[in-house]
A = this chain, B = another copy of it.
């Protein structure tokens, strides 16, 4: 059983903590994590052994694994959050009404946040620290695969909060391991002010479909790059290579390349050579023809309808040739997930039309979609990428964990009509 009331009470106290109080508690958390490396790594080792014994893919085992360098990274993440401005208590607007009332819009914490996530244990610390900085309590529900690691990290965090004079109860780990626990969390109306699922599509969709509390949908990215007729081919090749191969498993990696028919013959052979043996291409007929004689090192298959819908998260790129901008925009709006979309062009009107008509959180001109990231945007830290329009959209920084409160000060005003 999760004690929601304990979280809410702690959050209510934390809501009015000063920046100094929150930052010194977070500094103490850094110290405690540093001091408990041995127990944290030991706990993580148990998770890793169990995962291997259960045949977890090595790529996932790697996500699960901690070492001294990664713990350094976790601590540096908290330190970067400490350096961020306090998002709470800001007057974002203020005005006087004709009858002399003074009205201010002031930022306050959103409340109790639930983060439901998968294997990476560093999310445990990141999510807690972001929430704490914003005066929010955090209820964390990690994967059972990371249970020992998350428990050790939570123990360290709570010791740090206690040492630093913070709100120890502003963090809770939902660690029963019981699957029903997620449903309990996303049904807790009045206690959970927002639930943020982070991880595989199945997890996110399950939370979105069953939640009774506000949810922020994250992460699914079927991203496109449209190479227009006027694009700089050399830059286009580098951007597509980067967007596809620099981190193929990321939600902001490109999945489908759309090429203007007048650019296909210039772009595709050079691109194929650049991608070498590192990427499979799934091409429509026109694109396949435009590839010409390609080095045998690159695998090319005919594209199927399912390829336009796929978020490969792999070294696979779907390629389609389009006859004009409208066709590119229509394809993006039909198959895209409203995440990150790019046009590579030197035509200003086309760039503007692409921005105006493409419905996505982030629309790029002449840059890689890989920049859709809180860190790259300069937010210092991120809670994920919102692919919805409600409350939050795009990379989510601290401000997503805030709401507003109106302060109205008068001297006896009453309403006449």
* A→B interface (CB under 8 Å): 12, 15-16, 95, 97, 101, 103, 110-111, 193-194, 209, 212, 214, 232, 235, 238-239, 241-243, 246, 333, 351, 355-357, 359-368, 370-372, 376-378, 388-391, 393-394, 403-416
Partner of A413, one of B214, B357, B367, B413: B367
How distant is the Cα of A393 from the Cα of B407 in the complex, in angstroms? Answer: 12
Q: In the complex, what's the smallest C-beta–C-beta distance from A7 to chain B, in angstroms? A: 15
> Cβ of A367: which chain B residues have Cβ within 8 Å of it?
101, 408-414
21 contacts between A and B (CB under 8 A): A12-B359, A16-B356, A97-B377, A101-B367, A101-B371, A193-B389, A193-B390, A214-B214, A238-B414, A242-B414, A246-B414, A351-B409, A366-B410, A366-B411, A366-B413, A367-B411, A367-B414, A370-B415, A372-B406, A377-B406, A390-B403
Contact A408 B356 (CB under 8 A): no
Contact A406 B238 (CB under 8 A): no
> Cβ of A333: which chain B residues have Cβ within 8 Å of it?
12
Partner of A365, one of B110, B361, B365, B408: B408
Q: In the complex, what's the smallest C-beta–C-beta distance from A391 to chain B, in angstroms? A: 4
Contact B415 A368 (CB under 8 A): yes
> Cβ of A232: which chain B residues have Cβ within 8 Å of it?
412
How distant is the Cα of A362 from the Cα of B108 in the complex, in angstroms? Answer: 12
A352 — nearest CB in chain B belongs to which residue?
B407
Q: In the complex, what's the smallest C-beta–C-beta distance from A235 to chain B, in angstroms? A: 4
A242 — nearest CB in chain B belongs to which residue?
B414
Contact A406 B362 (CB under 8 A): yes
A194 — nearest CB in chain B belongs to which residue?
B390
Protomer copies: 2
A106 — nearest CB in chain B belongs to which residue?
B355
Partner of A364, one of B361, B376, B408: B408
Given contact pairs A12-B333, A12-B359, A246-B416, a sample of 18 additional A-B residue pairs in the complex whose CB atoms are under 8 Å apart = A16-B357, A97-B371, A101-B371, A103-B378, A111-B389, A235-B411, A235-B412, A238-B412, A241-B414, A246-B415, A361-B405, A367-B409, A368-B413, A371-B408, A376-B415, A393-B403, A393-B404, A393-B405
Partner of A97, one of B209, B365, B378, B416: B378
> Cβ of A239: which chain B residues have Cβ within 8 Å of it?
412-414
Top 7 nearest A-B pairs (CB, nearest first) are A367-B410, A242-B414, A235-B412, A389-B403, A370-B415, A391-B391, A214-B390
> Cβ of A238: which chain B residues have Cβ within 8 Å of it?
412, 414
How distant is the Cα of A357 from the Cα of B409 in the complex, in angstroms? Answer: 16
Contact A409 B246 (CB under 8 A): no
> Cβ of A356: which chain B residues have Cβ within 8 Å of it?
15-16
Q: In the complex, what's the smallest C-beta–C-beta distance from A237 to chain B, in angstroms? A: 10
How distant is the Cα of A193 from the Cα of B389 in the complex, in angstroms? Answer: 7
Q: In the complex, what's the smallest C-beta–C-beta distance from A269 to chain B, in angstroms? A: 20
> Cβ of A416: which chain B residues have Cβ within 8 Å of it?
246
Contact B246 A365 (CB under 8 A): no
Contact B97 A376 (CB under 8 A): yes
